[in-house]
Structure formats: C-alpha cells, structure tokens
Structure 1
C-alpha cells in the first residue's frame, strides 16, 4: 500500500505552486511593458488603475499618483507590444460629465524613435482639462463684471446694447454678407499662405541685405540728402529750365506737326537706307578694314622731293572685261536678298556659266584685235615687261638733279 503524504506537506506544496504561478504571471505580464512618468498640473479624477489609452483604445493603466507640491506625478505603464513615440504627449480626457478620467497618449506611433521604459513626459507636454467649478467661477466672474455692480453700474452696458440694437436693426442681411465676404477673404489668405510665406521670406532677405550693407545705405541716404538740398537751393533755376524746356518741346511739337509728311518721308528713306546698309554689311566691313591701310599706303606713296604720288590705277575688272559682262548677267547682285532676282539667276545659271567659260577666249580675241586699248584694259600682263627707267642698262632714268641735292625738283 502506498504511503500517504502528511496534510501539512500537501498544504505547503499547494502554497509553493500558487506562489510560483503568481510570480510567473506577474513576471510575464510585466516583461516588455513600457513604464512612463508624466507630470501634470492637477490630477482630479486620475487614480491608480485609471485607463491609459491611445486613439481611444486602452493600452495600459495608471500605477501610482504622487502629489509633488504644485504638480502631480502620474506613473503609468503601457503593455508590451504597443509602441509609443519618443516625443509623445499626455493629456487627461473626461469622456463624460462624471469626472472619471483617463490618460491619453498621442500621437499614435507611425515610425521613428520609440519611447523607452522609464521615460518622463514633462509638464510642457501634458494637458489637463478645465474643471467645471473653474468654468462656473469664470462665468460668475464675467456676470459680476457685467452686472449692476460692474460695467453696468451706471447703465453703460444697457446703453451699449440698445445702441447696438438700433444700429444693427434691419441690417442683418448686410451683416451676413459682410461675414461671408470676411470668410471668403480669410479663405483666400489661407489658400495663399505659401505665397504670403514666400513674400515674408523675401522681405526678410531684403531687410537682411540692407542690414549687411548698412554703411552703403547710409552713404546713399547722405548723398540723396545732399542732392535734395542742391535741387532745393537751385529750385528757381530748375523751374526756369523746365519752363524753357516746355516751350522748346512745344516748338518741337509744332515743327513735327507742320512737317509730318516730310518727316514721314525721311523716316521711310532712312528705313530703306538702313536696309541697304544691312544688305551691304560685308562690303562695308571690308571697306572699314581696308580703308585705313589704303590711306596709309597713299601717304607713303607721296614723294616730297618730286612733289608727286607714286601710284598707278589698278582696277582688276579692267583685266577681265568679258568676265565683267558675265557678272552683270547676275541680277541678284543688284539687289541682294530679292527672291525674284535670285530665281532669275537660277533659271539663267547655264547661260552665265557658259559665258564665264568663254570669257578667257573673248579677252584674248579683244587683245589681238585691239593691241592698244585705253585705260590699261588687258594690259596687266605687259606691266612687268616694260622696264622702269633707270633699272635696265641703256634705259636712262630721271635726268634732273633731285631737289634735296640742289636741283629744281
């Protein structure tokens, strides 16, 4: 037969089992939860066991409420698995008229740093609702201030109400429209908040720039002050000058009015001249580049001893008369940019090219039939074949003594 355990031993084992289960339960429920201490200005309706909620859902409870002089510290916990933002706030909420309050933590966690266990929420991040007795006291104070012992002691409030009623009587529609327009204006300002913000930022940048350039701004103001004093000192002369200017402008206006046809005609001609100048831009540019060189060469060609200019006429076109005639067939050169003349040149391109191909033969025939052409026409090949006086033996040079050596020059 089995030996039965004594009853005291059985009771002791039961006590040990219950204690172990209790300790395990408390350890499991306490493991991983977040303990927080929050400082409130008051804690009416908050006691041990009050709910701690997030978005209206109970996530923990209050563990201890400790008065600390002018503030109250509330120790609470949030069960494990519920995250709280590191910068969360704590507010007391009264869900009904009966002061059964709970502590709300907000906002809900959506990412970022988490509040660690043992964290403290300072007074700046807590809020407490206004008590009913405080609200009643405020209403009572307002009533006393406006009552017969206050602002209405001499009937001032009655007169104000009467005057307001007389003023607003019959103006309800206008007042309603004013409120609607004021609402629309406020909406417009709200919609334009970004623009207003940018305007303020730009204004701040402008003011900062002025502050950084304070010396220059002061110098500018000083110079403007001196200028204003100068203008003020010469006010009469300035008035006289402006009067004379007005007379001159009147004369100019009459001149323009009396000669508007001539001015219009001259303006049209000036337009055409400008167009021609623009069309001949390349030629004008070449003239401006070569004219200084040509004038320099002309000065260097002057012989002060003989009083003569050592130069000769050199027109390249005289050496190719047939080619010049072919160039005259290009009508587009007469008015560059004219579309019609350009199209005619394209139509006659074959004839122009044939003329240019026959030009050398025609020049040779002209030189053979007329060996002594005037103006140096087709005489280019003979220029170097004629000896310069004094450069070839037997070809005597200038027979007279130079003026620099006592001659007559």
Structure 2
C-alpha cells in the first residue's frame, strides 16, 4: 500500500527551489560562475488538517513509515472530471502517463483513492521491417495499435459526485510534527521531491538583448542598495587606509513577483529554471522609471536641465515606443551649447519615444528561490538580485 498524503495544504504553504553555484570573483568585481547542480532540489513546506476519521491512520503511517517513499498530489495540476460511478475505466490520458504510474482520484478527505495506469498510452508503435529479402535494407513503418492495446487508463472502485484527477509525486519526508486541538489534528510536514519537476519550454518566446533575457519589472516598489567591496587597513595610531576592490559600485535590490493563476505560476517557474539560481545573468528593466523629459533625434537623446554628472552610471537603456521596446547602449555622454545633457546611443530611432528606462545586468543573489502560496492559484515570491559586470563579454 502506498504512503499518500491526500489532504489539501492549508494557506501559506511554500515551495523552494535550490540550485548550487560556485562563484569565483576577480579583484575588479567580475565573476566566473560554475554550475554544480543542473536541477534544483525542490522542498515543500506545508500544513494539512487530518479529521477524526483518518487522524489515527496518518499518525500510525508517519510513525511506522517515516523514512519510506511517500507520494503527494500535485494540486496545481488537478483536472476536474466530475461525476463518476464505481467500476468505471477512465481512458483519457491527461498527464502523459505510462504503465505503472499512480494517480489520485479525489473528492474530499474522506473519499479518494489511488489508481494505477494499467495500459500504455495510445500511440502508434514503431516497427523495423526488411523491405527486400535480398538487400536487407531497413524500412521504418508505423503500426496501428491493436484493439486491446487501446484499452488504457484507470479502474475506479468508488462512486464520486465531483471528482478530481491529480498526478502523484514521489518524495521523502524531512520533518513532521503535529498538534491536536479538539477532534482535528494539524500536521506540519517538510517534503523533498525525489525527482525534481522540469519547467522548461522549448517554444517559449522571451525578450532578449545581446543574447541575455530581459525581465520587465512591473511589480511596484523599487528599493535598492549600493555597495562597493573595500579593504580597510587599520594602523595602531588610529589611521586607516581604504582600498576599493571593485571598479564600479554594485547595486542590489529585491524584486517581488505576484503570481495570479496556474499559467503565471508555471511561467515564473520556467523563468527561474532558465536563470538557474546564481548562474545566469539577466537584464532587469523597471517599467515605472522614466529618465526622459526631452527629445530624441536619430541617435541622440536630449535630457533638459540635468547635468550628466547627476545621472546614474547606466550604460544600457530600454526605449518604449508606441507598440514595441528597443534596447540600446549609451556610447557617449556630453553637454550641448544650451547646457542640456546629450546621450549618444548605438541605434538610430525614427519613432516617437514614450518612456526611457535603464537596464541593469544582474543575477539572483541566492541559489534558493521560494514561492509562497496564498491560495491554490495565487502565489508570490521575493527574490534579491545583485548587479554583475558581465558586459566584458559583449
């Protein structure tokens, strides 16, 4: 019998993805980053309520089988299948199942069951045949599956008024605690998935500049801090000498993501898989920042009443046009005869510009990314990012 936690998590559960990256930093602040873990370790931390009808069952299972393999449903992938009678054979393959895969049929905590996929998926099987006995040349043909091979699916033993179908994930329990209040018992579990899920899409289209993905931050508050690695030599008489290691000051800041719905949560996971913890850099563009209050002509941006020494030390910009965004590099900064600041960029712009924001090349400041679920379909994540000096590569 499988060890299954078939209870819905309470509000506030978290899912943590943890990569492993080694960073070698040079004296000028540039980095060489090495991937030590190709896929993240995935940990879930959540609570669930066990009602009186199954409280003792969970206590006994956890006490006797704590170190065994457990199964938990992937609640975000739940598929509603409605009313089902017992002895029904479900044949639709929602999750690309294979023979022996286990799935959960769920109505509530008192009525659910684990069903096993009994037959292979309905696909055309590939056969190798000889098209000529003399030359023995191989030919590939597709063979239609026989009628008995088409009978694939799940066999149910219970009646359900409103059922959901959920895939099950293998995991280990890292820590378990529980407390009893009245008739119900609340369990707190920390779970590590045995096989990390893959959130990679080959067909996804992303905005990029110079071969690096661009993230447009439209989530609100910009709260940044500045740092520069400085060595301090302290003499006995109280005098100190300060030696700056980095050529430039690094900016760091948190970026908060609000995820509404399964699609946004999935796209966010695909994004953090592409970044891979601290490994890969990306451009961060703040959509609410506008440094443009002048005019643009060809490859010159005029900013009125601002001395170029008062501008941030940015080198890359995002120009928001009517229906698109253009990314450019600032190749020179000077003043005109009227005292206005001129930014010389590496592209000629012939369309009206609505807004100009700066691009910061950055990476995650930690290999660990945590997603907090406020509901089954709403989540948030707060990620600290830090500026990197990778522009020596382009």
Q: Please tell me the TM-score bracket, short chain as reference.
A: under 0.3
TM-score (norm 2): 0.16
Which structure is larger by alpha-carbon Rg, 1 or 2?
1
User: Which structure dedicates a bigger proportion of its chain to helix?
Assistant: 1
Identify the structure with bigger relative contact order (alpha carbons < 8 Å, sequence gap 6+): 2
TM-score in terms of structure 1 length: 0.16
